């Protein structure tokens, strides 16, 4: 099964021009930031309902101590199995200490289909000691026969801009979600039906409509046994009401109205910003804002957003299924170098976290998948580098002195201070 081409994908033509302006600003030594407008991005834990979608949920309470017993939840789709294994232990920076170089690899959709890309990168993460964030589209656990259980805002029941999965793909995805969590990876959300402009998607949804979309994303994970009828598959090893800490909106649209909805669910971060400079993160509406980032595009005088689709768009004009095969080797090297450009700039500079966004797709012969694998193999083994999930990054940021983060936030991406004195009071 293949996902259909994302609606609104070709609306990203504005980014190259915007990125060129940003590149000029960086050359001039400015440390400013993006205004977060949707025009840039188009190039490119609360107690949730366990039985049925609701408009919103109360804020999450403190995690209770674990008695060592597995708690099966609801219809048996999920369970609480204690604190997640293999998590980063957050430590406060000491005066004069150089910050770690965080790198976050994240994946939109998180379906295990016939390409088996979910399992490929989960296994690579285990090999290279990289925890990642898998943004699950909720309907990937909802069979086509039950599609009308999904009510996307401003759409009829059962409508979706991506395909509903086969039963076999649901089973395979459930297996990968279980293994990914046990490997220490984060299961975030990519919401549900992937509606984008010009369809009435996130850019047109109100905060209440976003709450409905979120509630359904919870419900499809918490009720997959009821919805599929599968009886021979164990529960997922996490309580999604407790686990879900953030997401990325389809096509990076609608963050303004999404943030109040996310806050009402007690989420800790949002990765839906259309794109900003490589700087230390700040909060929007009391939620950590983790945008895609502008990186120097090899051989060009502009920057490219740190996502596979944006390399695709700038290399082959947005053709998601084909380009000139003779150019694949060149484009793959260009993508690898683009990611490494962004990495080297901060690794040898401000140490701001690097965010790399991806899709499980074989665009242009799968060259972007190979590029990400090559980058992961290279950077995650370097001294001082920690390849983590967004949730782990939240954990680390939350224990830092706010004044220290504010000071680091003023650094240009390539600016390398004397760390031995820079963070001393």
Beta-strand (E) ranges in 117-260?
A: 133-136, 186-189
Query: The domain 9-58+71-422 belongs to what CATH superfamily?
Result: Glycoside hydrolase/deacetylase (3.20.20.370)
State both tokens at 341: 């450009």
Tell me, what's the pLDDT at 121? 98
CA distance 221 to 317: 36
Tell me, what's the pLDDT at 67? 85
Of 38 and 210, the one with more pLDDT: 210
Mean pLDDT of all residues in the chain?
A: 86
Closest CA to 179 of 125, 122, 140, 231: 122
pLDDT digits (tens, 9 = 90+) for 56-72: 343 343 455 788 889 99
355 pairs with which residues across the strands?
104
CA distance 237 to 169: 19
State both tokens at 28: 């001039």
- Global confidence as pTM: 0.86
Strands 269-270 and 283-284, sheet pairing: unpaired
CA distance 376 to 129: 9
Contacts of 350 (CB under 8 A, 6+ apart): 278, 279, 280, 408, 411, 412, 413, 414, 415, 416
> In this structure, what DSSP letter does residue 321 have?
S
Torsion angle of the four alpha carbons 177, 102, 120, 113, in this order, in degrees rounded to the nearest 10 = 50
H-helix or E-strand spanning residue 73: strand 71-73
CA-only gyration radius of the chain, Å: 20
Domain boundaries defined on the chain: 9-58+71-422
Of 208 and 18, the one with more pLDDT: 208
Strands 294-296 and 269-270, sheet pairing: unpaired
CA distance 225 to 146: 12
How confident is the model over 167-185, as a mean pLDDT? Answer: 98
State both tokens at 293: 């980032």
Tell me, what's the pLDDT at 317? 82
Pinpoint the alpha helices (H) of 348-389.
363-379
Band (pLDDT 50/70/90 cuts) for residue 321 is low
CA angle 323, 328, 329 (to 5 degrees): 170
CA distance 235 to 79: 6
Distant-in-sequence contacts of 282-290, Cβ < 8 A, 24+ apart: 282/409, 284/255, 284/259, 285/259, 285/260, 287/246, 287/259, 287/262, 287/263, 288/246, 288/393, 288/394, 288/397, 290/104, 290/246, 290/353, 290/355, 290/390, 290/393
pLDDT digits (tens, 9 = 90+) for 245-303: 999 999 999 999 999 999 999 999 999 998 899 999 999 999 999 999 999 999 988 99
Helix axes 363-379, 117-127, angle to 10 degrees: 10
State both tokens at 346: 């901060």
Q: Is the pLDDT of residue 163 over 70?
A: yes
């Amino acid at each position: 099964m293949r996902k259909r081409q994302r609606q609104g994908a070709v609306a990203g033509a504005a980014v190259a021009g915007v990125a060129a302006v940003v590149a000029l600003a960086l050359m001039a030594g400015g440390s400013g930031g993006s205004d977060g407008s949707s025009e840039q991005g188009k190039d490119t834990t609360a107690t949730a309902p366990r039985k049925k979608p609701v408009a919103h949920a109360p804020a999450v309470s403190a995690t209770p101590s674990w008695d060592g017993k597995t708690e099966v939840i609801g219809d048996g789709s999920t369970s609480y199995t204690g604190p997640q294994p293999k998590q980063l232990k957050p430590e406060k920076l000491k005066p004069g200490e150089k910050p770690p170089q965080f790198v976050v690899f994240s994946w939109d959709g998180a379906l295990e289909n016939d390409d088996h890309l979910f399992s490929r990168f989960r296994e690579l993460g285990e090999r290279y000691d990289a925890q990642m964030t898998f943004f699950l589209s909720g309907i990937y656990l909802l069979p086509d026969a039950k599609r009308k259980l999904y009510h996307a805002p401003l759409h009829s029941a059962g409508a979706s801009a991506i395909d509903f999965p086969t039963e076999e793909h649901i089973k395979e995805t459930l297996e990968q979600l279980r293994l990914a969590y046990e490997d220490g990876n984060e299961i975030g959300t990519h919401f549900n039906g992937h509606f984008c402009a010009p369809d009435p998607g996130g850019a047109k949804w109100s905060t209440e409509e976003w709450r409905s979309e979120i509630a359904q994303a919870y419900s499809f994970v918490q009720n997959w046994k009821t919805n599929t009828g599968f009886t021979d598959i164990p529960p997922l090893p996490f309580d999604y009401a407790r686990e879900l800490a953030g997401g990325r909106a389809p096509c990076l649209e609608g963050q303004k109205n999404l943030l109040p909805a996310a806050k009402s669910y007690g989420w800790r971060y949002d990765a839906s910003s259309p794109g900003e400079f490589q700087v230390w993160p700040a909060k929007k509406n009391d939620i950590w804002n983790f945008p895609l980032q502008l990186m120097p595009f090899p051989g060009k005088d502009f920057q490219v957003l740190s996502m596979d689709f944006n390399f695709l768009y700038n290399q082959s004009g947005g053709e998601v299924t084909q380009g000139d095969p003779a150019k694949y080797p060149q484009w793959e090297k260009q993508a690898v170098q683009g990611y490494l450009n962004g990495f080297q700039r901060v690794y040898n500079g401000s140490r701001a976290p690097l965010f790399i966004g991806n899709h499980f797709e074989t665009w242009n012969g799968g060259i972007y998948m190979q590029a990400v694998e090559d980058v992961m193999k290279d950077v995650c083994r370097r001294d001082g580098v920690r390849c983590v999930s967004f949730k782990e990054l939240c954990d680390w940021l939350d224990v830092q002195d706010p004044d220290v983060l504010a000071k680091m936030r003023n650094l240009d991406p390539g600016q390398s201070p004397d760390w031995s004195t820079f963070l001393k009071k």
